[in-house]
Structure 1
Amino acid sequence: MKLILRGVTLLLMMATGMAWAESACKQPRVLHFATIPKKSLAQQYEEFEPLRQELQRVLGIPVRTVSVHSYQAVIEGLLSGAVDMAELGPAAYIQAKERDPGVQAVAAYSFRGGPFTPEGSYYNSLLLVKAGARIKSIRDLKGRSVALTDPGSTSGALIPMTEFKRESGVVLADYVGRRIYAGSHDRAIEAVLSGAVDAAFVSSRRADDYIGRGESKAGALRELWRSRPIHYDPFTLSSQLCPEVQTRIRQVLLTPSPARQQLLDTKGAVGMQAVSDEDYRWLEQLVSQLK
């Protein structure tokens, strides 16, 4: 009898704990969305507008975009609950996941091919120089200036500091003359084209977008080095959101609709697919190397 009573007591305690966890989750009155700065935030949020309105319709609450000007600020917003949904870079997602295992990657784009990126759901970190530059190889970068993107960027910081070093044997801090963080991929590319720096590490997708917008001709940039493929940036949900809210957001992101198609067309994307931790897990080792 005592064993039975203990079992019943344990079940009641578990049920109470589950009920408490359910009631403790967040049912937002306003859903806040933020994205890492890849280019002009105003442009990024203009592209997101059709999906913002669809989320607002499906959730039945206002959905607001939040201006956040660094990768780290987006991570902190997601972890604190000030941001409910974010588009993170792969490395930024790993950093957020390490601090809160409950954050969830739910969806990522797949894109048409471009001058630097094949069609599909992967991109690369590129080391680019101006087409007419006398820099013909990585060794020619000795003493030169190089732009990175943001300390939280996968292609613009993590990969150059880890994979690039492993493959080329070049430690940027010891080899190049000057390193700067441009703040975004667009600004890093602009720095190369203007001659402000000799080379830059950027996302191949962002380079394609820059050319696609007519900001530069495809032949104006030359590739010196390319990383292994990296899965595209995940839309990520806060661990604090209630399960039913998370489910409805997933449905909006992954179910074809006119609003989603409008977003894909604006982005030059061909689709959006479900993603999970496994798609980004290989980056954990690289992130740990920078600690």
Structure 2
Amino acid sequence: MLGWVRLLGAFLFLLCACQPLPEVGVEPPYAPVAHTAGVRVVVAGMRSPEGAEPYRVFLGGLEEHLGERVEAFGRRTYAEVLEVLRRGEAEMGFLCTLAAGLGVEEGFLDVVLAGETLFPYQSLIVVAEASPYRELAELRGMPFAFTDPLSNTGHAWPRLLARGLGEDFFARAFFTYSHDRALEAVLDGLAEGAAVDRVVYESLGVRALRVVAQGPVDPPPPVVVPRDLDPKLRSRLVRALLRHGATPQGQKALRALGLRGFRPAEEEPYRAVYQRAREVLP
């Protein structure tokens, strides 16, 4: 019910351009900040706080492998998560592919692991199953749900895909600040289409929606650390994530997120995603 109210606020923004988008507050399972934990982990809002419980469960189990307290916290936007990492207010982050590429390009983030996804990581444009739309071009000027301005699958790629379809193609688009809320916007009739991450879409098992377009398979959302993080702590974090991800408890939480585990990752593919998207970023 709470998620529906917030999405209604976003829809009203389309009708009253002078009104700002509603604030999406930080809710359980995330604390607004982490001061007392030995390891602070910031999680980007790829899922709403309500839908991100598996992250809290997974990170809670990480404490056993690190031998110290782990606290997860969130921010409303990917840009705010980047600022937390830029200022050294978290030792580790779970971040979107494009936002991670921006941090790599600007020199303050390192990609240490990539998620091994159960489904290809790519952008999907979805509409209601019963709607008449069969391709992206038919959604011109319709209410449309993006996820975040720095989302690869939920914003940048759809804008790249729509190049040549008119500068006002997404004139009635709004941001929901998570992939599950973008899907809810279509299901609730607040948007005619939405751009989302396929991994989230498939792992949620959403019914009554249909895919009308999809983007290329890109490097999946990574685990990142500040570039100036102590090397010994960085190695401890990586080892602990890999160990915990292989346990039955870790596997259960990861599967709920559409992941099977983690693998070492290079930063250049993430930089390339950011560079590809620069021309359509706000």
TM-score between the two structures when normalised by the length of structure 2: 0.78
What is the alpha-carbon distance in structure 1 between the residues aligned to residue 46 and residue 136 of structure 2?
Answer: 25
- 1:89 correspondence with 2:106: no
Q: Which stretch shows the higher mean deviation, 259-268 or 247-256?
A: 259-268
| Unaligned stretches of 5+ residues in structure 1 | 1-27, 113-118
The residue type equivalent to 1:231 in the other structure is P
Q: 2:112 aligns with which of 98, 106, 110?
A: 106
Q: Give the corresponding residue for 2:191.
A: 197
What is the alpha-carbon distance in structure 2 between the residues aligned to residue 102 and residue 197 of structure 1?
Answer: 36
Matches within 5 A, 1:1-291: 30-54=38-62, 56-99=63-106, 101-112=107-118, 119=119, 122-162=120-160, 164-166=161-163, 169-171=164-166, 173-211=167-205, 216-217=206-207, 220-255=208-243, 256-290=246-280
Is the 8 Å Cα contact of residues 254 and 274 (structure 1) preserved in structure 2? no
Q: Give the corresponding residue for 2:3.
A: none
Q: Which stretch shows the higher mean deviation, 176-185 or 45-54?
A: 45-54
Shift of the alpha carbon at 1:148?
A: 0.8
Is the 8 Å Cα contact of residues 159 and 227 (structure 1) preserved in structure 2? yes
RMSD between aligned alpha carbons?
Answer: 2.2
What is the alpha-carbon distance in structure 1 between the residues aligned to residue 277 and residue 46 of structure 2?
Answer: 20
The residue type equivalent to 1:111 in the other structure is T
Q: Which stretch shows the higher mean deviation, 265-274 or 149-158?
A: 265-274
What is the alpha-carbon distance in structure 1 between the residues aligned to residue 224 and residue 165 of structure 2?
Answer: 34
Shift of the alpha carbon at 1:274?
A: 1.1
The residue type equivalent to 1:210 in the other structure is L
The aligned length equals: 244
What is the alpha-carbon distance in structure 2 between the residues aligned to residue 257 and residue 149 of structure 1?
Answer: 32
Q: Which stretch shows the higher mean deviation, 257-266 or 69-78?
A: 257-266
What is the alpha-carbon distance in structure 1 between the residues aligned to residue 65 and residue 261 of structure 2?
Answer: 20
Q: Secondary structure at the match of 1:123?
A: coil
TM-score between the two structures when normalised by the length of structure 1: 0.76
Shift of the alpha carbon at 1:271?
A: 2.7
Is the 8 Å Cα contact of residues 48 and 181 (structure 2) preserved in structure 1? no
Is the 8 Å Cα contact of residues 143 and 175 (structure 1) preserved in structure 2? yes
Is the 8 Å Cα contact of residues 51 and 259 (structure 1) preserved in structure 2? no
Q: Give the corresponding residue for 1:9.
A: none
Is the 8 Å Cα contact of residues 51 and 263 (structure 1) preserved in structure 2? no
Aligned-residue sequence identity (percent) comes to 26
What is the alpha-carbon distance in structure 1 between the residues aligned to residue 228 and residue 177 of structure 2?
Answer: 29
| Unaligned stretches of 5+ residues in structure 2 | 1-35
What is the alpha-carbon distance in structure 1 between the residues aligned to residue 138 and residue 280 of structure 2?
Answer: 26
What is the alpha-carbon distance in structure 2 between the residues aligned to residue 147 and residue 68 of structure 1?
Answer: 19
Shift of the alpha carbon at 1:258?
A: 4.4
Q: Give the corresponding residue for 1:8.
A: none
